[in-house]
Structure 1
Amino acid sequence: MGPTRAQFIQYAPAALAVASVTVGPWSALAAAAAGAGAWAVNASAPALRSLIACGITATGSGIAAHQVLASGMDPLFALGLAVPAGAAVLAHRRNTAGEHTALPATTAAAGQSSQAQLISAWWAEFISGPTQTEGRKLIQAGAGLEHLALDAGADHVSFTGIITLPQGQQVRVKAADIAAVYQIPVSQVELGDPKHYAPNALPVTVHLKKASSAPEIPAGAPTTPEQLWAAYVAIPEGAMPGTTLALTRYDGPLDWEGVATRARRAIGTVNLQDLAGNLHLETIQVALAPTDKPSQMGVRVMKEHALMHGTMLSTVVDELAMDSRGYVRLGTYIDAQAALVPLAQPGSGARHLYLVGGSRSGKSGVLEQILLSAHKSRIAVILSSPQAGTIAGAPLTAHCGDGLDEAMGALRLAYALMLDREARYRSPAFPFTDPLTLIVIDEAHMLLAASSQYHAEAKAIVEQLTRRSLKRGIGVVLATQTPLAEDLGNSSIIRSQLLIGGGAVFLRCAKGQGSLVGANAVEGAEGIDLSKIPSTWPGQYAKVADRDMSGLNTEAAAEPEDGTFGLGYLLTPGSQAVQFRSLHLDVPPASLAGNQPPVAVEDCDAWRLREAIAQTPMVDQRGKNLVGSLADLLTKAQQGPPGLPQQQRAQTDPAGPAGEDGQELIKPRILELLREESIPMTAETIARKLGTSAKNIRPRLSELKKRNEITNESGLWRAA
């Protein structure tokens, strides 16, 4: 193989000098000077061409002068031949006058590989210059990359060098700048510590391709997803025995998708916690996607969660209205498909929805979205919110019971509306002339739990609503903080009817309260532990810990990836719970409602007497004998609220207020109340029932406890 063009340009003057030694001393001296200059300067191609021309001219002049002297002619003729040589030198000086002393990085040094030339070219184009693109803004002009060294292997490529500037300047090139130029992660750029180097010279190492640090695997151990599946999942004691895995996408051991198949047999429900254990992953890293075939199940393993960036509410507002099948969009599934839930069943009535989610899980956002969907679908809503002021979409409702007592009143109104429709529609014929109606119960545990003063009545009403209301066009949306039976008043009827009559949304719960196994098992959601859903995405803790509070931007809007709000599982009847995320509320839902007024409940007897009905208890003190007919209910409502209980009537006596502070007068009333109600109560509940303040009650409770007449468990008082 012959010399390259660069080698020829560099060494041609030197070769010419050696060849001309035999011709004459003058020419040898001139050619040798040109070759030495080419060797030492390491000049650019234009400079080398000028040196070659200078060497040829000097050589020719030297040969002619030598011949003149040898022939005995006048030496002045030989001296005159020096004029062309001097002119060649001046021309060379003029040609190289515009050359920079420091060559740009785009001009590859002689001997560089093509890969090193490309690295230098990118550095000059985007970082140091001179750039070939007009108007490009450089990162730091003049910050050249010197002493470039390339380390390339089969599985890695990296280069090192020194970022160099003229004396007196300081290197301002950052690792992020270099990473952006070479399109690699910032973690693959290593800059020297400026404290240990001169300001104008900073070493840099860039890993263009890093070797994978795969752990050592014992010989014969399963490594691929298919092998791991066969070794741990498909075995008899695995999560999906007898199945085989076929990958449809593979981007690494923690980022792949596949389809599990069982030959000629249905897979059935899968315990997600067992599957994550088999694959040695967290439950949030594994998602299941049922297919049309019972013998197949889609499986997805994620390194970075697909729902981290969420779906904005404002971008899908047109999908919130109910379609012809009665479905509305609630969020996005793990496979990027729209997550739909039914609010109605055309031709059959309404549908239920069971919502579980702890504090800061996104439960209120889901309820606000449901209120907006109902509003856009022209569905009337009766809202029961025991915890006042928590639902921002309350103005979209036909009736709002905000606060504990008012929330109980909203439940009574919904029950009365069901009785009214049953009286008017003995044999329902759909579609109704009356609007579909939703009764939305937020924080239902505050009404249904055994410690609630309305426990018996609320439990009886909700059981009847979930059993009988669907055919009358009334659906129940019930939200609690945990899936525990206690939150539903220990009623298996309520949960089963909610799940049969609609869908369920499971969001993050507190630790120890989110398991859907054992007594809290839900068919289709086996093995899910809602407390395993993290409150933030992986890596967010470090961001918060490293944040400089002095520069905190208080006006910055929260991004979906700032938390896992709305992340959970969606369960529809007869299917497997699928991982999804509700829509991100980037705008207030009420702002998307338009100018339409709230949908009103039909004009009927129950609605006209709603104020009286809301204040009329519908069960006796034992929680029995729920009012069963509209006529009885209207009669009871028209008679007004019943008389005060005996312990409350005593407060209206003239001697009541005077004797209220007397210890011996109030203690018997506390005992009588606790024995008669036979349910645990808080001090505030006891004070409200006795018409006094908790400040007067608490000392008396402590004294009764010392006498062993009452007990206290976690703030709940009951008769001993």
Structure 2
Amino acid sequence: MGPTRTQFIQYAPAALALGAVTVGPWSALAAAAAGAGAWAVSTSAPVLRSLIACGITATGSGIAAHQILASGMDPLIALGLAVPAGAAALAHHRNTAAVLPTLPATTTTAGQSSQAQMIAAWWTEFVCGPTQTAGRKLIQPGARLEHVTLDVGADHVSFTGIITVPQGQQVRVKAADIASVYGIPISQVELGDPKHYAPNALPVIVHLKKPAAAPQIVAGAPTSPEELWAAHVAIPDGAMPGTKLTLTRYDGPQDWEGIATRERKSIGTVNLADLAGNLHLSSIQIALAPMDMPSQVGVRVMREHALMHGTMLSTVVDELSIDSRGYVRLGTYIDASAALVPLAQPGSGARHLYLVGGSRSGKSGVLEQILLSAHRSRIAVILASPQAGTIAGAPLAAHCGDGLDEAMGALRLAYALMLDRESRYHSPRFPFVDPVVLIVIDEAHMLLATSSQYHSEAKAIVEQLVRRSLKRGIGVVLATQTPLAEDLGNSTIIRSQLLIGGGAVFLRCAKGQGSLVGANAVQGAEGIDLSMIPDSWPGQAQKVAERDMSGLDTEAVAAPEDGTFGLGYLLTPGSQAVQFRSLHLDVPPVSLAANQPPVDIEDCEAWRLRDAITQTAMVDQRGKNLIGSLADLIAKAEKRPTTGLPQQRAQTTQTDPDGPVGVGGLDGQEQIKPRILELLREHSMPMTAEIIARKLGTPVRNVRPRLSELKKRGEVINESSLWRAA
């Protein structure tokens, strides 16, 4: 098979150079034949010029070598004349190698793709002309782009061509000019070196879209998830020492799933913050899932969080009712399965729920959803909301204590109901037929904290409820802002009984107040720091910052991805805390109640006397010795005066030192301290203890101890037996 046309154009000058020494004058005829052949195959003008120049050089060298040999001079001199001929052949080969396969010229659009037509149109408009745009200065009129070749891929777009100008002119188009025309960085334009090409023809390569640069990998450094795991997580100082990662799905270095296995040993609890640090990720990008085997745990790494777009409340309304096992849906797990929590235990009573979440974490939304689930499941609710007006689902409760004093009254009613059921269920004639009741306590720290005026009474009641109420069909749903012991009145009993008797929901907390380690450790949730849950998804803060607030739609409904409301961890009895997100309240929960009235509590003594019970303190003068029977409670509630003048209330106090707190119970009670402070602040003049007692209508023996306690707190000052507010 003979040489192809391209091979002939490239290698004919080399043959001329090789035969220049021996052929002599006949090389001129060979050069002429090569030029005629190149013209016949319609090669480009630059290649033709290069071929002719090479032929002339080879011919001249051949003639000179022939004359030297004929005159008898040294043959080495004749051989040296082959050097310029070889250099000419080499230059021609370089020129033809830089020329790309020929395409139809861009002067005609027939057969061109839309990309090529657009490239040619922009070049004509801004570089060579002619142009119809008035006032525009062309970069170089007549500098046409010919022989355009496109290279289009999934991650790159580029074109190559030759810039040509009429004979006798020089290409003056610069890389910066081309970059400005196509709106790309100057580094993406490659021009040939003018020294190696004809003055009126210059090749160009333009990268309209360059592929992303491959990351520089250091030799020996771990790159795959398995290698990173072995290098940083499975080491003795790692988050999960001695484990091996097996991938089950891989969609990129930050989007994969796998199973971590420890050979014949339990993995135990995993510190999520340490694991995120080992993998160089944020804690919100990692989720762990317990497996059937204690030596395995599921690991999921996410580039975009799987729960970012949330699950709408209205789409799963049928799953809100209690099932045969006593569970209701509270949200969605990280693996898209339904997150269920128990609200009752059929045949044996109710269940507790511990809810932790700071401001704007979605805690109120979870409580509203629980109220709706209880309503649809025909569970009665007693709501205690110390912070008035914060629960939109309050109309679904049988009794609502809205405000600090009313919330304390709701706790008293719940305790009285438990005592009532204990007195009735003690006899076999009263089987468990009454409805399940939930005591929902929002912002419980406002009642239980040591700074609360109801601290002692609320702590005593809640401790008894979480201990004794489950078998009586009464569950406690307690919500606080932090997992700190101070929010529960420094009571270890309350939290431990809540976790034993039901599940727990942990949402975002304030910085420094969300760690579940040390004194705040919760079994099954060790190592979780709730303050590490961000208030917005990765990248959302920048979107908000770049938003044009001038056109903000004030009626637009918030989307789930606008914030991480409801994102946290769900802990059910006997399992590990799993990342989940509560349902997004796309509709008001009350609207899904089907206009049914609230579920009523059974007709019993405690419910009939609820107005008096909610106003009756259930502890003695020192805030201790909680009333232990329904009969004593009813007797104290019926003895409590409801009306009377201050003098009559004072007489009642003197004759009945153990009288109820409220309107008339001042002697030795915790409620006397606010009265003392109010009196001292209203009168700027210092007073003695006797004057204070007389103005308050109580014996001085009850005032002096309270003044001493206020002095220790730094709220009053004693100067020469005269007391004044600090």
Q: Taking structure 1 as the reference length, what is the TM-score of the superposition?
A: 0.67
Corresponding position of 1:316: 316
Corresponding position of 2:158: 159
SS in 1 for 2:686: helix
Corresponding position of 1:182: none
CA offsets per residue over residues 36-64 of structure 1, 9 Å max, x none?
xx999xxxxxxxxxxxxxxxxxxxxxxxx
2:329 is equivalent to residue 329 of structure 1? yes
Picking from 107, 111, 116, the partner of 1:108 is: 111
Corresponding position of 1:423: 423
Shift of 1:399: 0.1
Shift of 1:579: 0.5
Corresponding position of 1:645: 666
Matches of 1:479 and 1:210 in 2, distance apart? 52
Structure 1 residues 607 and 241: CA distance shift in structure 2, 3 A: same
Corresponding position of 2:61: none
2:686 is equivalent to residue 664 of structure 1? yes
Corresponding position of 1:704: 717
Corresponding position of 1:210: 211
Matches of 1:480 and 1:673 in 2, distance apart? 34
Shift of 1:364: 0.2
Corresponding position of 1:376: 376
Matches of 2:350 and 2:289 in 1, distance apart? 27
CA offsets per residue over residues 441-471 of structure 1, 9 Å max, x none?
0000000000000000000000000000000
Matches of 2:615 and 2:607 in 1, distance apart? 13
CA offsets per residue over residues 520-566 of structure 1, 9 Å max, x none?
00111111111110001111221122122211111111110000000
Structure 1 residues 416 and 286: CA distance shift in structure 2, 3 A: same
Matches of 1:378 and 1:278 in 2, distance apart? 48
In structure 1, give the amino acid aligned to 2:666.
Answer: P
For residues 123-202 of structure 1, what are the structure 2 equivalents within 5 Å?
A: 150-151=150-151, 156-159=155-158, 191=183
Shift of 1:227: 1.1
For residues 705-720 of structure 1, what are the structure 2 equivalents within 5 Å?
A: none
Work out whether residues 621 and 677 of structure 1, in 8 Å CA contact, stay in contact via their aligned partners in 2: no
Corresponding position of 2:342: 342
CA offsets per residue over residues 169-207 of structure 1, 9 Å max, x none?
xxxxxxxxxxxxxxxxxxxxx8469xxxxxxxxx99753
Corresponding position of 2:451: 451
Q: Taking structure 2 as the reference length, what is the TM-score of the superposition?
A: 0.67
Work out whether residues 453 and 681 of structure 1, in 8 Å CA contact, stay in contact via their aligned partners in 2: no
Work out whether residues 353 and 478 of structure 1, in 8 Å CA contact, stay in contact via their aligned partners in 2: yes
Matches of 1:398 and 1:448 in 2, distance apart? 23
Shift of 1:705: 8.6
CA offsets per residue over residues 398-454 of structure 1, 9 Å max, x none?
000000000000000000000000111126899731100000000000000000000
For residues 5-44 of structure 1, what are the structure 2 equivalents within 5 Å?
A: none
Q: RMSD over aligned Cα, in angstroms?
A: 4.0
Corresponding position of 1:467: 467
2:277 is equivalent to residue 294 of structure 1? no
Shift of 1:284: 1.0
Corresponding position of 2:72: none
Matches of 1:226 and 1:708 in 2, distance apart? 76
Work out whether residues 322 and 373 of structure 2, in 8 Å CA contact, stay in contact via their aligned partners in 1: yes
SS in 2 for 1:330: strand
Count of residue pairs the alignment pairs up: 535
For residues 431-580 of structure 1, what are the structure 2 equivalents within 5 Å?
A: 432-580=432-580
Matches of 1:121 and 1:427 in 2, distance apart? 94
Structure 1 residues 611 and 259: CA distance shift in structure 2, 3 A: same
Corresponding position of 1:714: none
Work out whether residues 674 and 680 of structure 1, in 8 Å CA contact, stay in contact via their aligned partners in 2: no
Shift of 1:666: 8.5
In structure 2, give the amino acid aligned to 1:501.
Answer: G
Corresponding position of 1:698: none
2:362 is equivalent to residue 366 of structure 1? no
Rg comparison, structure with higher value? 2
Work out whether residues 268 and 294 of structure 1, in 8 Å CA contact, stay in contact via their aligned partners in 2: yes
Identity rate, percent: 72
After the TM superposition, which segments of 4 or more aligned residues of structure 1 sit over 6 Å from their partners? Answer: 101-104, 121-124, 145-148, 427-431, 647-653, 656-659, 670-674, 677-682, 705-711
Work out whether residues 420 and 605 of structure 2, in 8 Å CA contact, stay in contact via their aligned partners in 1: yes
CA offsets per residue over residues 484-519 of structure 1, 9 Å max, x none?
000000000000000000000000000110110111
Structure 1 residues 607 and 211: CA distance shift in structure 2, 3 A: same
CA offsets per residue over residues 75-97 of structure 1, 9 Å max, x none?
xxxxxxxxxxxxxxxxxxxxxxx
Gaps of 5+ in 2: 3-41, 45-105, 121-144, 162-181, 186-204, 642-659, 694-699
In structure 2, give the amino acid aligned to 1:274.
Answer: D
Matches of 2:320 and 2:118 in 1, distance apart? 49
Structure 1 residues 658 and 590: CA distance shift in structure 2, 3 A: closer
Work out whether residues 356 and 363 of structure 2, in 8 Å CA contact, stay in contact via their aligned partners in 1: yes
Work out whether residues 424 and 430 of structure 2, in 8 Å CA contact, stay in contact via their aligned partners in 1: no
316-325 vs 266-275, which deviates more? Answer: 266-275
Matches of 2:717 and 2:529 in 1, distance apart? 41
Shift of 1:273: 1.6
Gaps of 5+ in 1: 3-37, 41-100, 110-116, 125-144, 163-189, 194-202, 687-700, 712-716
Matches of 1:709 and 1:150 in 2, distance apart? 97
Structure 1 residues 702 and 507: CA distance shift in structure 2, 3 A: closer
SS in 2 for 1:664: coil
